[in-house]
Amino acid sequence: MLDASEDFQRQFSGFSCTPHLFKSEINGLKPYLEIPNKTIVFNAEINPKVRLGLRVERFVSEELKQNPEIEILIENYQVRENKHTIGELDCLFLRKKTPIHLEIQFKYYLIDPSLGNDEIDQCIGPMRRDTLNEKLTKLKHKQLPLLFAKETRPLLNELNLKANRFEQYIYFKAQLFMPYGKNITLKQLNPNCIYGFYFNYSELLKFSHCKFYKPKKTDWLLEVSPNVNWLTYENLLPQLKIYEEEKYAPLLWLKYPNGELTKCFVVPW
């Protein structure tokens, strides 16, 4: 049963089906858009306790490894200065002998039109703790430049490669959620990344006729499926009341009476 255990293949499939957020260069950052030419069976070992971000990095790694044109050189390399970690290189690999530096992101963003006219400025995390704009700035000014830091030279010397030989890309996938009841046309971001909507706790009653399922965090990756233990509005409400008091924004699956399924976030703001 989907509710009962980790299902890495389903999680991998949900990750794999999620589109890249950018179709072309954005703010000087080049997206890595190569698509696997075959269906990948995920059979690598993962500790069930591994958090979502690291799990996604393992999924990307497996995707790369199954490409015969790619040779992975190093993954999750901790760059240190006097025993202090100053950053991490997600992945260095060779593609047809060309050195590639890849930084990996998988995000859930809610579009908040009140934040401005720019789609990138409007993308915010469910708890409003991070923004797409901040993430792109960090990628451009911290994560990608780390390849050229003097602390990275010992690694590159060991690989017999120079930093200026590398091509740098971002592997950036995301699932986007729109304000409930609003139609927004995306121009900068990939519209295929829209996975559902979000609404405030005060609007819960509008969905009292629906059924709900709350996946655990690592199952946020999954494609919505009817084969789960659905809860009625009344059954889920006590748990949601606790989340509201804690100002937590859970991801839910929603099933309408006609059988239509979608993902949604309930937010305290």
Q: Do 84 and 205 sit in the same domain of this protein?
A: no
Given this model, what pLDDT does residue 39 score? 76
- On whether the CB atoms of residues 139 and 103 are closer than 8 A, the answer is yes
Q: Is residue 137 part of a domain?
A: yes
For the segment 15-36, the average pLDDT, to the nearest whole number, is 94
Q: Do 164 and 220 sit in the same domain of this protein?
A: no
Quote the CA–CA distance of 188 and 198 in Å, as a whole number: 20
- pLDDT tens-digit profile of 93-112? 999 999 999 999 999 999 99
Q: Where are the beta strands (DSSP E) in the chain?
A: 70-81, 84-95, 98-111, 123-124, 167-179, 194-200, 211-213, 231-232, 251-255, 261-267
For the segment 227-245, the average pLDDT, to the nearest whole number, is 97
Q: Are strands 194-200 and 231-232 parallel, antiparallel or unpaired?
A: unpaired
Which residue has tokens 């930093």? 163
Which of 156, 188, 220 terminates a domain? The answer is: 188
Given this model, what pLDDT does residue 265 score? 98
Which amino acid type is present at position 59? F
Q: Do 178 and 222 sit in the same domain of this protein?
A: no
Q: How many CB atoms lie within 10 A of CB 17?
A: 10
Q: Is residue 90 part of a domain?
A: yes
Q: pLDDT-based confidence at 6, cuts 50/70/90?
A: low
Q: Do 20 and 110 sit in the same domain of this protein?
A: yes
Q: Is residue 1 part of a domain?
A: no
- pLDDT tens-digit profile of 252-265? 999 999 999 999 99
- On whether the CB atoms of residues 199 and 266 are closer than 8 A, the answer is yes
Domain around 109:
8-188
Residue among 222, 268, 224, 235 nearest 249 (CA): 268
Q: Is residue 2 part of a domain?
A: no
- pLDDT tens-digit profile of 185-231? 999 999 999 999 999 999 999 999 999 999 999 999 999 999 999 99
Q: Is residue 60 part of a domain?
A: yes
For the segment 15-32, the average pLDDT, to the nearest whole number, is 96
Q: Is residue 32 part of a domain?
A: yes
Q: Do 158 and 232 sit in the same domain of this protein?
A: no
Q: Do 210 and 178 sit in the same domain of this protein?
A: no
- The total number of structural domains that make up the chain: 2
